Structure 1
Amino acid sequence: MKTLHGVQNWTGSLLLASAAGFTVASSVLSATFDWPDILREPAPVVLASFHAGGPSLVWTWFAVAWTYALVGVPMSMMSAALGRGTDPVLRTAGAIGAASALLSLIGFLRWVFVVPALAGPWAEGDAATRPALEAAWTAQHQFGGALLGEHLGQVLAIVWSATVSVVALRSGVLPRWIGWSGLAASALYLLNQGDVLATAVPGFPVWEPAGLIGSTAWGLWLAAVGVVLIVPRRSASTGPIRAARSAG
């Protein structure tokens, strides 16, 4: 049980670290690059703003990418942290969660390794070369950003959180409020897919606040799960978390 206690502490700590790190890094990005609103701006606006940001903006994107990617580790550890290491549902969810973090990492890191190669020549180019660079920007943005990061990355992360929430409600390994709030946060975050799909299907219904509200709610839920894994439960439950604390 002491081993389980240690896994819970590591998993909870990593959830909190990733949530806190990403919040700080993304807040800096929002203040310096108008993220995420700028993602829907025309190519010339994005490329000009990115070029003006210089190396500091590239390093900010680097920090955003890796602080978010960290969440893939506790996602994959959740079945062990809940004392259900052989549960096929949680093990599959862990693999899905890790895949979501990897896809999002790819989406974020294109701002470090791909976009600079377009923004520099665009800023130095003329009316003859800029249209080709803008077309290249749009293509990589739709593939690496909308498809890999915003669609697949987010949807798989939602599948993970919804699965953990359902398991929590059905088994009692986590407080019921974690289960219900996780389902609510997952549903809100899923609504952001309207904005993503609208980039490919003009006229697709979009609820503008979904991105901010959904991602914030999902991030707060991650932090809450981290706290619950670290702090001893005081309920009458005999689930693995309480049992581990008692044995420790």
Structure 2
Amino acid sequence: MRRTTGILFVISAASFAVAASVLSATFDWPDILREPADKVLRSYVDGGAGLTWTWFATAWTYGLLAIPILMLPQAIKRTDSTLLRVATALGAVSVLLSLIGFLRWVFVVPPLAHAYVDGDSAAAAAWTAQHQYGGALLGEHLGQVLAIAWSILVSLLVLRSAVLPRWIGWVGLVASLLYLANQGDVLATAVPGFPVWDAAGLIGSTAWGLWTILLGVGVYLQRSSSHVE
């Protein structure tokens, strides 16, 4: 269980990084998320079926993260920890919300994009509505905030116990705060003028993803702990 959980953390984070890199190279993600509907929808149609499959891969490689999140309490023998139970629930829900945000590019965006390029002007308004709801609200705000809450709680557990090296906890807190800074960009979509740190998305998500890999390695290498929470 312990080794499997560690391996799954590494695999999910690494495979998502690969899929996201392909998406960035082929669709200018995530910068294109803040572009006008005309550019986004036309670019999507130009991407063809290959772009839809890239979004599909991006979605499910991230969705894989739910498995080690759910396995973590048993893997590190902390099933009695209230802190970790709360963290696990938040983490699982965060993955579900982000998965919804990603999969709308597979099931919702394609027909809207084709309708728009075929001359249906109403498709632009429909795109904006689903983009703000499924993307900004569910995926980017709730999904990310709950994922950050999970990583903060897991990091606090690490710092309060001998379950993993304490430096993993400190790195997790720093990565979580960096990732949280990306919420400025998300909130700016609803509150014009909200302060935005342009580099927060790249730096924060990269730091958080690397920490997830470190967590997986730490769990894989963990032996036994002598202190409890």
User: Does residue 179 of structure 2 align to residue 189 of structure 1?
Assistant: yes
User: Does residue 220 of structure 2 align to residue 230 of structure 1?
Assistant: yes
Name the aligned partner's letter for residue 121 of structure 1. A
User: Does residue 17 of structure 2 align to residue 27 of structure 1?
Assistant: no
Mapped to 2, the partners of 1:56 and 1:157 lie a distance apart of 29
8 Å CA contact 1:76–1:91 kept in 2: the answer is: no
Once the two structures are superposed, residues 69-121 of structure 1 have per-residue CA deviations (whole angstroms, 9 ceiling, x without a partner) of 11111112221122111212101110110000000000000000000010011
8 Å CA contact 2:164–2:222 kept in 1: the answer is: no
8 Å CA contact 1:96–1:157 kept in 2: the answer is: yes
User: Does residue 58 of structure 2 align to residue 64 of structure 1?
Assistant: yes
Question: Which protein shows a greater Rg?
Answer: 1
Runs of at least 5 residues in structure 2 that lack an aligned partner in the other structure? none
Mapped to 1, the partners of 2:188 and 2:162 lie a distance apart of 39
8 Å CA contact 1:90–1:164 kept in 2: the answer is: yes
Mapped to 2, the partners of 1:56 and 1:106 lie a distance apart of 20
Mapped to 1, the partners of 2:187 and 2:222 lie a distance apart of 42
Choose the corresponding residue for 2:38, options 44, 47, 52. 44
Number of aligned positions between the proteins: 228
- Give the secondary-structure state (helix, strand or coil) at the position aligned to 1:179: helix
Query: 1:221 Cα deviation (Å)?
Result: 0.2
Query: 1:232 Cα deviation (Å)?
Result: 4.7
Which residue in 1 is equivalent to 2:132? 142
Which residue in 2 is equivalent to 1:10? 4
Identity %: 65
Q: TM-score, normalised by structure 1?
A: 0.89
User: Does residue 146 of structure 2 align to residue 156 of structure 1?
Assistant: yes
Quote the RMSD (CA, aligned, Å): 1.3
Query: 1:231 Cα deviation (Å)?
Result: 2.2
Query: 1:227 Cα deviation (Å)?
Result: 0.7
Which residue in 1 is equivalent to 2:211? 221
- Give the secondary-structure state (helix, strand or coil) at the position aligned to 1:174: coil
Q: TM-score, normalised by structure 2?
A: 0.97
- Give the secondary-structure state (helix, strand or coil) at the position aligned to 1:214: helix
Choose the corresponding residue for 2:164, options 163, 168, 174. 174
Runs of at least 5 residues in structure 1 that lack an aligned partner in the other structure? 1-6, 241-248
